[in-house]
Amino acid sequence: MRTVDWDYKTGKLLLIDQRKLPGIYQVNEYQNYQDVIEAIQTMVVRGAPAIGVTAAYTIALCGFESKAGVYDELVVDLTRCASDLQKARPTAVNLGWAIHRMLSYIKKNEETDTDKLRIAILGEAQRIADEDVVTNLAIANYGSKLINDGDTILHHCNTGALAAVDWGTALGVIRKAHEDGKRIHVLVDETRPRLQGSRLTAWELAQYKIPYDIITDNAAGYFLSRKMVHKVFFGADRVASNGDVVNKIGTYMLALAAFDNGIPAYAVMPTSTIDSSISRGDLIPIEERPSNEVLNIQVGGEKVVPEGSSARNPAFDITPNRLLTAIVTEKGVLHPPFAESIRSIL
Ligand code: MRU
C-alpha cells in the first residue's frame, strides 16, 4: 500500500506506522485531525513529501469533521485546521507547501454546496498524493542515470517510499538504477538518533532485493577516505534558493567528508521542497526534538547515559551548496551555480 492513503470506504486517513518498523507492519486509521497532528509530531509519518501529502489529506479530513452547514463557516474551520497543522513540524517545507496549495484551491473553488465542496477538497488532496508518485518517478528517471553499474552508494536517513507516497527521492533513484539492471551496493548509515537508516531504509532495500550493509554514522568518513564509496545520495527537507540543503542531522558531516575525498554528493528532492522565499540555508528553522530520543538509547537492555544527563537533539543540519555535486529534481539534474539553475526551473 501507499505510505499515506485515503480509505474511500470508511472516510479515514491511513498511515503506515513507521515507529513500529521493521518489526511490525501496522496501518493506523485517522478520522480526527488533532490525532494526525500528533502522528506527525511523534513520527508515525515522517519524511518531507509524506508529511506534505498527509497535511493535504488532513485538511480534507477536517472538512468532513466540521459540522459547518454554510461555506463561510466551513472555511473558518478549515483555516483553523491549517494553522494548527502548520505548527506540527517546522523544517520540512512540503508541509506548508501542501497547506498553501489546499487553501488556494479552497479559496478559488466556487462551490457553495458544502458537501460538494468537502468532496472537491478531498479530490485536490488525492491529486497531490497522485502527483507525488509521478514526481518521484520523474526524479528516479533523471537520478538513476547518475549511477553506474558496479557503484557503491552511501545513503543517509530514509528517503524511500516510506518518506513519500511511493518511490521516494534519493532511495527512489537507487531503486530505479537497480530495476534498470545496474549492480549496486548500498551503505546504509544508521542515522542516529531515530535510526531511519537502519530501521526503515534497510527494510525497504531488503524488499527491493538491493544488496546493502548497515554502517554506523561515524564510519562514513572511513569508507569515503578508503574510496570504498562511489557516490553519496541524500534527500532534503528544505532547500534555500541558493541551493543550501537542510536535511537530516548528519548530512553536513557526510557531505564534508565526501567533498574532502572528491566523491560526488547528490541531494535529491521534488521542487516542492525548494523554498524560494529563503535565500540561505542558515535562515531555515531547524527543529529541535525531545532529548529523550538521544538519552534513551540502550545497549543490552540498559540505558547507557548517566542518570540526570541532558542532551541536545537538533533534527536537521545545513549543507552549504558548495559541497554538492548536483541537485536532482523532477525537472532535471541541476548543476552549480545553484542559485541560477534553481531559478531557471522554478
Ligand atoms: O525527521 P524525518 O525522518 O522526517 O527526516 C526525514 C529526512 O530528513 C529525509 O532525508 C528528507 O525528508 C527527505 S525524504 C524524501
Q: What is the pLDDT of residues 102-113, one digit of tens each?
A: 999 999 998 889
CA-proximal residue: ligand 1, atom 5 (nearest): 47
- Pocket mutation for ligand 1, best pick of 132, 237, 272 (most atoms within 8 Å of C-beta): 237
Percent of the chain beyond pLDDT 70? 100
Structure confidence at residue 38 (pLDDT) = 98
Residue 339: pLDDT band by 50, 70, 90 thresholds?
very high
26-65 burial, b if ≥16 CB within 10 A, otherwise e?
A: eebebeebeebbebbeebbbbbbbbbbbbbbbbbbbbbeb
Structure confidence at residue 112 (pLDDT) = 86
Structure confidence at residue 259 (pLDDT) = 98
pLDDT average, residue stretch 240-257 = 98
Write out pLDDT tens, residues 188-243.
999 999 999 999 999 999 999 999 999 999 999 999 999 999 999 999 999 999 99
Distance 225 CA to ligand 1 centre (A): 26
Structure confidence at residue 110 (pLDDT) = 82
CA-proximal residue: ligand 1, atom 15 (nearest): 159
Distance 309 CA to ligand 1 centre (A): 27
Structure confidence at residue 9 (pLDDT) = 98
Q: Alpha-carbon dihedral of residues 89, 95, 99, 102, nearest 10 degrees?
A: -150
Q: Which amino acid is at 286?
A: I
Q: Write out the catalytic residue numbers.
A: 237
Give the position of cell 538491493: 210
Instruction: Tell me which residue of 221, 214, 207 sits closest to 191, measured CA to CA.
Output: 214
Q: Ligand 1: which residues within 6 Å by Cβ? A: 46-49, 92, 157, 159, 163-164, 168-169, 196, 235-237, 247-248, 315
Rounded Cα distance between 102 and 126, Å, is 11
Distance 217 CA to ligand 1 centre (A): 16
Distance 212 CA to ligand 1 centre (A): 20
Backbone dihedral region of 325: left (phi > 0), alpha (psi from -120 to 50 degrees) or beta? alpha
Q: Which amino acid is at 204?
A: E
Task: With beta carbons less than 8 A apart as the criterion, state whether 232 and 55 touch.
Answer: no
Give the position of cell 531503486: 175
CA-proximal residue: ligand 1, atom 6 (nearest): 47
